[in-house]
Structures are given as structure tokens and as C-alpha cells.
Amino acid sequence: MEIKTYPDPCLRIRAKSVEDFNSDIAKMLNDMADIMYANRGIGLAAPQVGLGLRVLVVDTGDGIVNYINPVIEDASKEKSKLEEGCLSFPDVTVNIVRPKKITVRARDAGGKFFIKTLNGLEAKAIQHELDHLNGKLIIDYLDPIRYFFTQRSLKRAKKNK
């Protein structure tokens, strides 16, 4: 498993729901957490490592939380802006406005449902990773001019590797 970087096509695919909760899922979650920590991230979605499943891991400082088939059940009308980076876009940050508080329903590695109400950085991280599960990327939040220049610099950086 390795982090896929833009423009890898797997980053644009809508992930599929997990149906079987077995030891493979637990191993995948552990591997994803290891990769996230090794790359100094706070979240990682399965599509970022080439897996088309609705799975993500997040650790904003209170320990790892695994989310399988996550769904936002409720989102506050109050929004906040935060500069977000992404492991799939090294050296790119984007200011993104998102709901300040969310309620998420998901399953754990054993398939058991849980509901969490989140705010602050954890709410932002979950929303960012959920975007990945739907094939949406941080560059999709850019205005057209910044999108153009970001695309151009990403292509140049890829050529120079």
C-alpha cells in the first residue's frame, strides 16, 4: 500500500460500501493508519491508497478512529474556513469552508454501528476524507484561476520527478 498522488485516476472514483467485516478489513485499517502516521497525516481514505472502499482513518490527537461506510447525518448551518492540505497533493493547501459541526454514522472494524458528533479539526478531517470517498479533491474547491495555476504547477512538479 502506498499513497496515490494526483492525477492518479483512483482518486476520482466513488468508493463502494463495505459489505464483509472480516480480518482483511482490520488489517487494511491498521495498514492505513501506519501509512497515515508515516506520512504525518491526520486522516487517510482508502481511495488514497488505491482501494475503492468506503473506509477512512482519522487521528486528530485523541487516538485513531476507524470509519467504515460513514455518512453525515447532520451538519451545522454555521461554517468555518480552514486551510487544508492533503497527502495526495504534497505542497498544496486550499482554504475550504465547511460545516463547523457534524454528526456522523459509521461502522467500526467489527461492523458495529456508532454515531459521533464532531466539531473543530476532527469534523473538518472527516469531511475532507469523506470527499475522497466520493471522488472529490481539495483542488475542486479552488476558483478557476487558482485551479489553472495549481494544475500547471502540479504537472511541472510531476515532470521534474
Residues noted as catalytic: 129
Q: Which three cell numbers stand for residue 25?
A: 478489513
CA distances in angstroms from 84 to 13, 81, 93, listed in the order given? 21, 9, 5
CA Rg value for the chain: 15
Instruction: Extract the C-alpha cell encoding 5.
Output: 498522488
- Strand, coil or helix: what is 8? coil
Work out whether the CA dihedral 17, 76, 128, 113 comes out positive or negative.
negative
